[in-house]
Amino acid sequence: MDYLLTEEQQMIRNLCRQIAEEKIKPVAARYDESAEFPWDIVKVLAEADIFGVSIPEEYCGMGGGVLEMALVTEELSWGCGGIALAFGGTGLGSFPILLFGTEEQKQRYLPPIARGEKLAAFAITEADAGSDAARIRTTAMKQGDHYILNGTKQWITNGGEAEIYTVIALTDKTKGARGASAFVVEKDTPGLKFGKKENKLGIRASATREVIFEDARVPEENLLGREGMGFIIALKTFDHARPGVAAQAVGIAQRALDEATHYARVRKQFGHPIASFQGVQFMLANMAIAVEASRALVYSAARMIDSGARDIAKPSAICKTFASDTAMEVTVDAVQVFGGYGYMKEYPVEKLLRDAKITQIYEGSNEIQRNVIAAHLLKESAARDE
């Protein structure tokens, strides 16, 4: 398929595929096993200016948008879905600043992110507030020219490794979701601590930690937007970031298809390559159809967002849901093509299956995405009847 990428977009994609092939693929299994944070790969990405692709040029970035972010994420995830998340989590943490930061906040925080000197993270989830994010309990109480943050955020990607955290906390506990606000919190803030690193099924090279606030003193100039805008900021952030999760899913699924196709050519049973059996061919063909359809959805949602379109929640949710469901199906099929070898850690496909699963869960589970899609459908239908 020709997605009519510009020369610059093709260059970004090719560079990231080269990094994935040469630098990430050879170490992916080791990081999966050790669950260490891949700082050496982060350095490679920083040297190649990858962290700046979607940051405007005036803040030391390359001036790209969501499509460029998706191209990078897809290719890095082809190498390893977990390692790619050092980039993806930083994008998620940067969006609130990009979309709602003042000029001063952008000048302060975006250039070191673009240069890959500092990673970012986004923190909304708590133990009792996952899909029901409005139930967060972390508070941010104004005291003079500071906000005092108290509470614990759970499962924060890049937690403990990132220097910059965008955090949603309640500035008014009586107002529920309308009482939430967004803050930039720097790692060296007094009172900011990190909990244990989670031991996960997949994306094991990604750090997932608690982020704990114990009377953390955050200067008032670190408030993003206005008090009470926290949930609007979170929702807009997810609308922009979900094509990134979808791109992660496409990268993982493409790798599973590539591995399965190669294996089907070289594995012989009954005196023939298993690729000569129609049952296997149909499986590969169905995988290819689903991967390509996912990619087309991701790029088209990303382009729509980059065009400045207002109603992006539905296309963003559609591409995230379809691509992540596809990644799960395709990685399961890839293990099937490999037969018993697919179940073994010596072969790459069981890791792809484990890595794919998270894309159906985070940044809003696929059930929540379907709620979003249905709500928009019903609203659009009602508007047509008026």
Ligand X SMILES: Cc1cc2nc3c(=O)[nH]c(=O)nc-3n(C[C@H](O)[C@H](O)[C@H](O)COP(=O)(O)OP(=O)(O)OC[C@H]3O[C@@H](n4cnc5c(N)ncnc54)[C@H](O)[C@@H]3O)c2cc1C
User: Known catalytic residues?
Assistant: 363
Query: Which CB, 63 or 130, lies closer to ligand X?
Result: 130
Interface with ligand X, residue 211, by CB under 6 A: no
Site for ligand X, residues 87 to 116, rule: CB under 6 A? 89
| Residue span binding ligand X (CB under 6 A) among the ranges 19-27, 104-112, 275-283, 363-371 | 363-371
Q: Provide the minimum distance between the beta carbon of 370 and ligand X in the complex, in angstroms, as a whole number.
A: 8
Interface with ligand X, residue 358, by CB under 6 A: yes
Torsion, Cα of 148, 159, 321, 55 (10° steps) = 80
Task: Transcribe 39-103 into DSSP letters.
Answer: HHHHHHHHHTTGGGTTS-GGGTS----HHHHHHHHHHHHHH-TTTTHHHHHHHHHHHHHHHH--H
Q: Provide the minimum distance between the beta carbon of 124 and ligand X in the complex, in angstroms, as a whole number.
A: 4
Beta bridge pairs of residue 120 = 164
Q: Provide the minimum distance between the beta carbon of 63 and ligand X in the complex, in angstroms, as a whole number.
A: 25
| Residue span binding ligand X (CB under 6 A) among the ranges 54-62, 138-146, 150-158, 287-295 | 150-158
| Cβ-defined contacts of 187-191 (< 8 Å, 24+) | 187/162, 187/163, 189/216, 189/217, 189/218, 190/216, 190/217, 191/148, 191/149, 191/215, 191/216, 191/217
* Cβ contact 236:168 at 8 Å: no
* Cβ contact 304:226 at 8 Å: no
Interface with ligand X, residue 208, by CB under 6 A: yes
Interface with ligand X, residue 300, by CB under 6 A: no
Query: Which CB, 13 or 354, lies closer to ligand X?
Result: 354
Interface with ligand X, residue 221, by CB under 6 A: no
Interface with ligand X, residue 201, by CB under 6 A: no
Helix (H, G, I), strand (E, B) or coil at 301: helix
Position among 156, 249, 290, 297 found at the interface with ligand X (CB under 6 A): 156
Q: Provide the minimum distance between the beta carbon of 82 and ligand X in the complex, in angstroms, as a whole number.
A: 9
Alpha-carbon radius of gyration of the chain = 21
- Pairing between β-strand 146-157 and β-strand 139-143 as defined by DSSP bridges: antiparallel
For residue 298, how far is the Cα from the chain centroid? 13
Between CA 91 and CA 334 the distance in angstroms is 29
Position among 28, 123, 224, 319 found at the interface with ligand X (CB under 6 A): 123
Query: Which CB, 147 or 362, lies closer to ligand X?
Result: 362
Site for ligand X, residues 53 to 92, rule: CB under 6 A? 89
Position among 78, 109, 263, 362 found at the interface with ligand X (CB under 6 A): 362
Position among 73, 94, 157, 324 found at the interface with ligand X (CB under 6 A): 157
Query: Which CB, 200 or 255, lies closer to ligand X?
Result: 200
Structure tokens given for 219: 């200067």
Site for ligand X, rule CB under 6 A: 89, 121-125, 130-131, 155-157, 200, 208, 358, 361-365, 367-368, 371
